[in-house]
Amino acid sequence: MLYKHPLLKRFLARANSYPKQKIIIETTGKSITTEDLAERSKTLAANLSQLGFEKGDRVLLLVRPGIDAITCILAVMWLGGVAVFADPGMGKDIFENRIKKANPKWVFAESIILLLQKIPFLKKYLRIKGYEIPEFSSLGNARIIRLGFGYPGLPHSIAYKSLFKKPTAKVDISRDLQGTDEAVIVFTSGTTQLPKGVAHTISSLSDTLHKIEELSAPTSQDRFYGALPHFLLLSISIGVTAIVSRKKFSAATFMKDIEQYRPTILFGPPAEFVEIIRYCQKNQKTMPTYVKKIFLGSAPVLSGFLRKLVGILPSDTQIKCIYGMTEILPVAVVDGREKILWQKEGDLVGKVIDGIHFTIASDGELMLKGPNLFRGYLDLPSQENIASGDLAKSIDGKLVLMGREKDMIIRGNYNIYPGLYEPIIQQIPGVAACALIGIRDEQAEDEAIILVVEPYNLEDKNVAEVVERSIRSGTYSIDIHALPDEISIMKLPRFGRQSKIDKKKLQELFKK
């Protein structure tokens, strides 16, 4: 049984009107038309249905962005299933806790990811090199769909390629889905200290895509470059060709892709564009004139960074800075050139988007709600609003951030909650206590992470090496994006009757 999914409606109309349009182009050279993507996703869904897939089944996706990943997501939509996304860079315990919490009935996984679980030293080496390799020992009772070669020793799985044969039974597409039905679950690198997943419904996800479409205002002639699921789903649903990189990010690769595939709309976190700015300055390059819009988000976008970015852009390239979070996206937007001119206090994040309602609590924390608000955290009661964790003010009708309420570090496009990792690090033999802190690095336009460790024996000179090795792979491994830039060994400063670690003092000690 397949369902008439609201998010597929526009894509199917596009496939009927422009069947031969290339809708996804991978930087590997592979591409797929709207017609073929519609047919492949429907065939995959029909065969999964015959294998016993049922409405509401959760599906963990361990597949890199690209044609296959989108085919899997669309197939899940056809079936009324729920796509589960988990950051692959999480440490072993954190990742397995999330798998257990989501309880997926199905897993789409690349065979190389499954194989690496059998080769610990190679997995550790790749993580040290910065590759996001998920670590897990079990996927529970989930049925595994394997993308790639069936290497010896892999867990029992069904070959992905075998699921594209013509279905033996007629495919019935007659039932509607409800807006309140669960659509996606997103586990981020730092949603909270507990293994919570952000659950969006068909309705909230649809409104998210609608708001992003209004912000980006794409035309059929545009080309989008990026890999985030929200933007890929948006580009597919409205018929804009998506250019998807299959390589680890580097500024040189990025600029090569831009020159070869000529996208008109870009999206990325400031940390990536910092590298791009340096590359362009070093090689005396500027962004091509066909790049018309750049969307920045997932981390603070500061005016000092924007001034540098403007220096490598054509004068008519628009810069849009988006403020939001996984729970509710987008919330506010500001023009980058307007932000550069902001002279008042705080961090200007701009005009609140139509439909979003905000209040500021007595302690200054920003509270948000709107039609694009998530349903709630996985297996917990639904929420009518969300505490953002940011302190804010409304100045001249625009939203301005005044700092953070939560103990949180923002690096790249990841929110990192120290409370998620400190208990794991403290279990490492020899570690008495520890603290993760973020120090703003103005040159990198990002936050540096410092791990301060208090060992049981302050004379033990091997503690830093043991901690460094332990957090990268194995039982005590942590999210790859939370790995510290520096490990310092010292007696931690404390305060109060409960002798809490004094993070403010640590900030002062390490501030450059």
Residue 193, pLDDT score: 46
CB 6 within 8 A of CB 20: no
Name every residue whose Cβ is closer than 8 Å to that of residue 38 and which is 6 or more positions away in sequence.
11, 12, 15, 74
Largest CA distance in the chain: 72
Report the half-sphere exposure of 328 (CA within 13 A, side-chain side). 25
The pLDDT tens digits for 443-452 are 767 788 999 9
Residue 499, pLDDT score: 61
- DSSP per position, 485-502: SEEEE-PPPEETTTTEE-
Tokens describing residue 336: 């980058």
> Residue 326 and residue 253: Cα distance in Å, rounded?
28
CB 451 within 8 A of CB 467: yes
Residue 192, pLDDT score: 41
Residue 112, pLDDT score: 93
Q: Which of 58, 57, 54 is nearest to 84 (CA)?
A: 58
Residue 502, pLDDT score: 85
pTM of the predicted structure, to 2 decimals: 0.83
| Whole-number average pLDDT of the chain | 88
The pLDDT tens digits for 410-433 are 887 677 878 778 878 888 988 888
Higher pLDDT, 502 or 168: 502
For domain 410-510, the CATH superfamily is ANL, C-terminal domain (3.30.300.30)
> Residue 318 and residue 462: Cα distance in Å, rounded?
51
CB 390 within 8 A of CB 405: yes
> Residue 214 and residue 212: Cα distance in Å, rounded?
5
CB 235 within 8 A of CB 22: no
Q: Which of 478, 415, 417, 409 is nearest to 440 (CA)?
A: 409
Tokens describing residue 506: 């640590």
Domain edges within the chain: 2-199, 249-366+379-404, 410-510
Q: Residue 496 pLDDT > 80, yes or no?
A: no
Looking up tokens 């495919």 gives: 171
Within a 10 A sphere around the Cβ of 430, how many other Cβ atoms? 14
Tokens describing residue 43: 């065939």
Asked whether this chain's domains 249-366+379-404 and 410-510 adopt the same fold, the reply is no
CB 36 within 8 A of CB 67: no
What is the CATH code of the structural domain delimited by 249-366+379-404?
A: 3.40.50.12780
CATH topology of domain 2-199: Rossmann fold (3.40.50)
Residue 189, pLDDT score: 56
Looking up tokens 């001249």 gives: 396
Name every residue whose Cβ is closer than 8 Å to that of residue 153 and which is 6 or more positions away in sequence.
115, 118
Task: Tell me, rounded to whole angstroms, the distance of Cα 361 from its chain centroid.
Answer: 28
Residue 194, pLDDT score: 56
Average pLDDT over residues 243-271: 92
Residue 238 main-chain phi, psi, to 5 deg = -105, 5
Within a 10 A sphere around the Cβ of 333, how many other Cβ atoms? 21
